[in-house]
Structure formats: C-alpha cells, structure tokens
Amino acid sequence: MTAVAELEPIRAKLAALGRAHTAADVAEAMRAEGMLVSDAALRATVEAIRRDSVGAGPLDPLLRTEGVTDVLVNGPDQVFIDRGSGLEDAGVRFGSDAEVRRLAQRLAASVGRRLDDSTPFVDARLPDGTRVHAILGSLADPGTCISLRVPARKTLSLEDLTEAGTIPAAGAHLFTAMITARAAFLISGGTGSGKTTLLAALLSLMPPAERLVIVEDSRELSPRHPHVVRLEARPGNAERTGAVTMTDLVRQALRMRPDRLVVGEVRGAEICDLLTAMNTGHEGGCGTVHANSAADVPARLEALAAIGGLDRDAVHAQVHSALDLLVHIRRDPEGRRRVSELSVLERAGTRGLVTAVSAVEFDARRVRTGAGAGALERILSR
C-alpha cells in the first residue's frame, strides 16, 4: 500500500473509535474495506498509518532519499523532488486537499506555529533542520502547497564541489586565495542554485583560529569549522509580538567579536548594517543574495538598502567600499549547479554607480579572464 488515498477510509474508521487503535483494529478496518489481510499487508498498513500521523507523513521517505534537496507539494496530485538535476515527479499522491492541509498544519504545530484560515501561511524550521513553508489552498491553486528544503546531510568541501563540476578544477585556487586574502564577497544566484552549499564550503576554508558569527533567517549553514556561532531570526507570535529580525541579529553579531561576519541570505534592511560593519574594520564578511546575474546584484542591493533608509548614492558608495567580489552560481540547462562568474565591483559614470565587472568566467571545461582580471589579481595578492 503506497498510495496515500488508500489509507483514508481506514483512517476514518480508526478515528471513529475514539481511542488509540491497535493492530487488530487496523486489520478489522482493512477487512471492512475488502482488503486482503496478510501479515505483510497488515504490517505495511500499520507502518503507513503511523508514518502518516508523525513527522512528514508520506513525504518522510522522500526526505530521507539520498541527494534530495527539496520536496514540493502542489495540492493533492503533484509532489516533486529535486536531486540536483531539476524537478522530477516523486510518484506520491494525496487523497484530497484536506489531507495535504492536515499534514501542513501538523508540521506547523510541531514547531509551535499556527496555520489556519486566519494565518494561512507559515515559514519555519522543523526540529531536524528541514525548512518548511506552507500556504493553504484558500490562497493557492491547485491547493495547499508545502515546500520542504532538506538540510545538507554533510557539508561539501571545495574538493567535493570541484569533483562534482560545480567549480572548474582550473579555477578552484581562486576561491582558496579569496578566503586567504580576507576578501569581502557575496554569492549571488537564483533559488536552488546552490548558494548556501557553496558558502558553507568556503566558510570551511577559513582559518580555525577565526570566530565565525553566522546570521540567518532560517538556519541552513553548517560549515566544517571549529568556532562557529549561529544566530537565527524569529518571527512574531500569533499576536505579532516577539519577533527578532535579521537587522537585530546583525547588530548583535557585531558585539560578539566576529572575525568573520556571515549573513546567510541578505534579503532586507540588514544589508545596511552589514555594509556598515564591512566598512568599519570587519574584514572578510560574506553572505548570499538572490539575483539572476552578477550584473543585477548592485541594483538588488540598492533596492534592499532602500528598505533600511539608504539613498542610491549612499548605498553605492557603501557597496564599493565594503565589498570586493561577487561569485555568481547558476543552474545549467541540464539542471546542474555551476559557478559561472567571479566579478569585481567598480564605480562608473558621472554618479559613480557600482557595476559588476567580470574578472573570470567559468564553463564546464575552461576559465576565461575578463576586464576585471587585473583588479581581481590585486585583491587576491594583498
């Protein structure tokens, strides 16, 4: 019995008992549904019902599958997984949207969050580190949607990423040099492009005597490093109180003597505090940012800094002074994650606006230098 829908009538009969069910109760419910009750079938059904009442239910086997980074549920009839080569149908189905909704509510409740018509979406981290986002079918078509981001089972090293083809072997030394030179950098890319995986690998290269303070909206980074302090933002409760923002945590991190200040993902006004920190003696800071290309990063930072009250000229001056390099990672047409570009930031035009100038471009087989190669050499040799 693998289809979730087949469990629904049995589950309904067990729920009507008004008490904890036994294996005998399950067998009786199976017979009532005209099912063959063998020892193997009974064991499989009991396990399926147990699995469906704890954890992620029918999604648990997917979350435990080697290589899976994301599990996505789009209503009852679509479940997809990502194993690094793009989305693929997982072959799992739910009996109804109500079933998906119950699972989403149970996941939310397991971390003390509310999910109902008055609060129809939730973003949280489960006890095992899995990040869950859910939005009810009252707002989403084709129904209740659940998005699960699976934490990395191990932190990949720079060598692992090179062997996987994410980083060309001919360019791997540039990333080691970037860390040694204490260059301040951002990793840019789209959703699921591998920004966090690459950042964790680079953090693992940092000297063991340095103190890393990592600020994240939801904890994902687990670098191989002996001195790491992780700070995680907290949403408000049902009364909209008690929230701890990324901006709050960046400011606290600065008081914790960081040798390297790391922002897992820059997505709001915290960019202002991060840029200020990088401009006041905190070298080698880093983080990630969503952007479609390296060229788009300055405009993206400009938009985020506007939330924190920085005007255009101020943010470009701050960015030019604070950041040394941009690393852009993307998915190729086959869905594989690859670092595509290493860029420097230069000011241009009468207003001195920052632009990303390509220093090195990577493809699957070779490394090509660009107009920013000279500036990159100066940064890495300082």
Per-residue confidence (pLDDT) for residue 22, from 0 to 100: 87
Could you tell me the pLDDT band of residue 206, with boundaries at 50, 70 and 90?
very high
Tens of pLDDT along 80-97? 999 877 899 999 999 899
Average pLDDT over residues 37-49: 86
Could you tell me the pLDDT band of residue 54, with boundaries at 50, 70 and 90?
low
Closest CA to 217 of 261, 194, 256, 250: 250
**CA 262/CA 288 separation, integer angstroms:** 9
Q: Specify the residue for token string 């408000």.
A: 236
Per-residue confidence (pLDDT) for residue 5, from 0 to 100: 57
Tens of pLDDT along 351-379? 889 999 999 999 867 789 999 999 999 99
Per-residue confidence (pLDDT) for residue 153, from 0 to 100: 76
Helix (H, G, I), strand (E, B) or coil at 342: strand
Quick check: 75 and 143 in contact, CB under 8 A? yes
Strand 79-82 relative to strand 87-89, pairing: antiparallel
- For residues 239 and 167, the model is more confident at 167
pLDDT for 177 beyond 50: yes
pLDDT for 318 beyond 70: yes
Strand-pairing partners, residue 147, are: 72, 133
Could you tell me the pLDDT band of residue 313, with boundaries at 50, 70 and 90?
very high
How far is the CA of 60 from the CAs of 64, 71, 73, 76, 102, in angstroms?
Answer: 6, 10, 13, 16, 15
